Amino acid sequence: MPDLRKNTLFVSLGQGVQLLLALLLMPFAARFLGDADFGRYSLASTLMFFVFLANDLGLNTWLTREAARERESSSRLLARVLGIKLAAAPLAYGLLLAFLALSGFDQVTRRAVEIFAVYGIASSVGQAFTAIFRAHERMHFETLVVVTEKTLITGLGLFLLVRGFGVEEFSAVFPLAGFASATLAAGLLWARFFRPSVAFDTAAWPGTLRVSIAFGVSVFLATVYNKIDVVMLSMMQSVAVVGWYSAAYKLLAFTNVVPNIAATVLFPRLSVYSKSDQNNLARLFGQAMVYLSALALPMIPGGIILAPQIIGTVFGAEYVQAVPALQILVVAAGILFLNIFLASLYGAANFQTKLVGIQTLGLALNVGLNWLLIPRFAHLGAAAATVATEGTIFVITLVLAVRRIARPSGVGEIWKVVVATTVMTAGLLSLQRVYWLVLAAIGVLLYAATLWILRFKPLLSLRRSGLR
């Protein structure tokens, strides 16, 4: 079986490059576009996810799981998935056009949304190819595809922004890069695995969709309660407010890199263990919770303390209103570290229908809170609604996972994380006037030193990690 540490390295490399390129592009986009056009871009990229989901229907996750379990069937399964996606593409785009007809958005916003919708469909098809790479635990191919796409987006995006082009031209970079990366993924699949094909075996579609749709609904609900705040803000506040909120939200989106790596790398192995090895499932569950908690907990007070300096450095004075939103949203980001992994665990253990029920509750809570809070508190109300929703989802999902899937082993080390976080926070508060990059480095050193003194086992045995 492939080495999980090697796969983690490749996924981390891809996510790290993606993070660096996004950090390079985002400040330019925010400053060159201005808060209003940056708000339009953020809305368009948000609605793109819904088009992606309407075309995906949970098929990529289903394909990863099934191909991991029966690798010899990968070619047939991929052909079926591609057939369904191509058939669903016109419907997904048509639903978006219907929404836009009722939205009342201005023409510039509408065109940006329409352009990003094409990117959503291209990404959905491209990720069907990378699902095979994941299923076979050959993450280096996915890394190459991701890095290529993000490099194209960053390079072309910066060129257009510096040359003075607007949000529509900037948006067009995304579908162009999406088609290029999908073509590369298909070529790698052909060269290294098998020749991809499309099969319109409609007789098999209902059975496939009956299973995959649960994944699709789960991701859709998670996306809705994570993205609906931007949509509701656009309808209840100005595009500038959307820009302030999106500035904070996009910064914290980068923190999802780590749990997404864990979910990507562990999903195939969790799928296998959930079917045949409960002891290893409990061990892997516990290790993931400890590692992710060790990264999530210190991020919360650190983000709250450093938020004013971070916003000023990255976005400038025009986005000062984003500071309190970032300080609230960093709490949600910490909770998301664990929620993303737990969602992956549910899918691997065939508990996706349970997750759908939990997420439906989360969606209702999120929409209701946004409806109440946005008119009075604008983007800060949306941020508070996000924290409340993620917290509720975490509590319910964790309790059910422990009771019905596996009892995580080896989680006793988490108390040391709490102590180290407390020491780090005290140090940061006493040195708040120090430049934020230096202060962040000091915080990391304080945190790591405290964990070392407390003999935190994952830190001491990093080289001998059991994740293999």
Each residue's pLDDT tens digit, 217-232: 777 776 676 677 777 8
Residues 179 and 228 in one domain: no
Looking at the domain assignment, is residue 207 inside a domain? no
Residues 274 and 419 in one domain: yes
Residues 220 and 306 in one domain: yes
What pLDDT was estimated at residue 460? 59
74 exposure class (CB count in 10 Å sphere: 0-12, 13-18, 19+): buried
What pLDDT was estimated at residue 463? 46
Residues 112 and 257 in one domain: no
Residues 222 and 133 in one domain: no
pTM over 0.85, yes/no: no
Residues 431 and 284 in one domain: yes
Q: What percent of the chain has pLDDT over 90?
A: 26
Residues 83 and 225 in one domain: no
Looking at the domain assignment, is residue 289 inside a domain? yes
> Lowest-pLDDT range, 76-85, 158-167, 212-221?
212-221
Residues 115 and 234 in one domain: no
- Dmax of the chain from CA atoms? 66
355 close to 218: Cβ distance less than 8 angstroms: yes
- Of the residues 145, 177, 202, the one at which a domain ends: 202
Residues 354 and 301 in one domain: yes
What pLDDT was estimated at residue 314? 80
> In the chain, how many domains are there?
2
Residues 287 and 167 in one domain: no
Looking at the domain assignment, is residue 253 inside a domain? yes
User: Residue 375 belongs to what domain range?
Assistant: 212-468
DSSP structure string for 123-149: HHHHHHHHHHHHHTT-HHHHHHHHHHH
Residues 165 and 235 in one domain: no
- Of the residues 139, 167, 202, the one at which a domain ends: 202
330 close to 304: Cβ distance less than 8 angstroms: yes
Residues 367 and 287 in one domain: yes
**Residue 198 to residues 54, 179, 201, 228: CA-CA distances in angstroms?**
19, 17, 9, 34
pLDDT per position as a tens digit, 238-296: 777 877 888 888 777 777 777 877 777 777 778 778 877 788 888 888 888 998 999 99
